[in-house]
Amino acid sequence: MAHCVVEAAEAILDQEFPVLDKGFVRLVDYLGGDERVVQAARVSYGAGTKGYREDAGLIDYLLRNQHTSPFEQVMLTFHVKLPVFVARQWIRHRTARLNEVSGRYSVLKDDFYLPAPEDIALQSQDNKQGRGEALDAGAAEAVREALSAEQRRAYTAYTGLIGQGIARELARINLPLSLYTEWYWQIDLHNLFHFLELRLDAHAQKEIRLYAQALLDISRKVAPRCCESFERHLLGGVSFSGEELAELRRRLGSADTGNLALTGKAALTGKALERFEEKLLSGRQI
C-alpha cells in the first residue's frame, strides 16, 4: 500500500483547535490511518482483501489483546501552544519526539494563562494534588486579579532586562509557569492512546485534560476506527487486580472467588476497598 491519504485528516491540517484562553492544538502532519494499522497486521495480505466490518473487528482484536505494534505504524505531528505548567506534566510522557520554542534564542511573547473564575478553587482536603471547593465569584475574581498582576510584573521585569542587553537565557528565568510555550510534538498512535488514557482520566488536572480531549478529537479524523476501539476498550474500561477480580466474583455470586479463595486472604478492606469501589463507578470525563 502506498501513502495513505485520509480525507477527513487532510481537511483539518493546520487548523487550530482552541484550548484554554490562548492555547491551541493543530495537526501539522500524519502518516497512515486505520488502513495502515490493518495493513501492518495483515502484512502477508494485499489491499482490499477484507471489508470495513472485518477491518474494524481486527482493530478491536488487536487493541483488546494488546498487539500494539500495528498502531505504532501511524504517526501524528501536532503543533501545540500550552502553559509551561501543562508542558511540564506533558513532558513526563517520554515516548514522543518534540521541539520546543527556546527562550535562549527568542524573546518570549506576552502570553499568560489566566484560569476562568469557575476553575479557581481551594485545595482539596482528600486529594493532595487536586482542587476542592470552588470559590464564590468575588473571591475568584480577586485571585484572577492577583495572578494577572504578578504576570504583568514578571513580564515587565523580563522585558526590562532584555532592554538592558542582559542575555535572554538569564532574563527569562523569573517568568512564571503560566507563561505559554509552543512545541511540535510527534507520536505514534499506540503511545498517543497511552497518553490519552492517563490524561483524560478524571484525576488528571483539568487543563491537561482539555488538551488531551483536543488531541483525541483530531485523532478521530486520522484513524476513526482505531479511536472508536480505544474509547470502547481502554478509555471506557478499567483493569482489576487479582484480589479485585475475586471481590467482583464474590459480589456476582460466583462460586469460584479466584485468588482470595486460593490464598486465604480476607476480602478487600480500607483503602483497597475504596479503590475498587471507585473503579466500579469510574468514568473519564472532562
Give the residue numbers marked as catalytic: 199
CA distance 230 to 219: 11
Helix ranges, the chain (H): 7-10, 34-41, 52-64, 84-90, 137-163, 168-171, 189-199, 206-222, 224-230, 242-251, 259-263, 270-281
CA 263 to the chain's CA centroid: 38
3-state SS of 247-275 is HHHHHCCCCCCCHHHHHCCCCCCHHHHHH
Grid coordinates belonging to 74: 501511524
How many residues can be counted in the chain? Answer: 286
Selection from 36, 68, 32, 72 nearest residue 55 by Cα: 36
What number of other Cβ atoms are within 10 A of residue 273's Cβ? 14
| Helices and strands of the chain, counted as H and E runs | 12, 7
Burial class (CB in 10 A: 0-12, 13-18, 19+), 257: middle
Grid coordinates belonging to 73: 505504524
Which three-class secondary structure state does DSSP give residue 194? helix
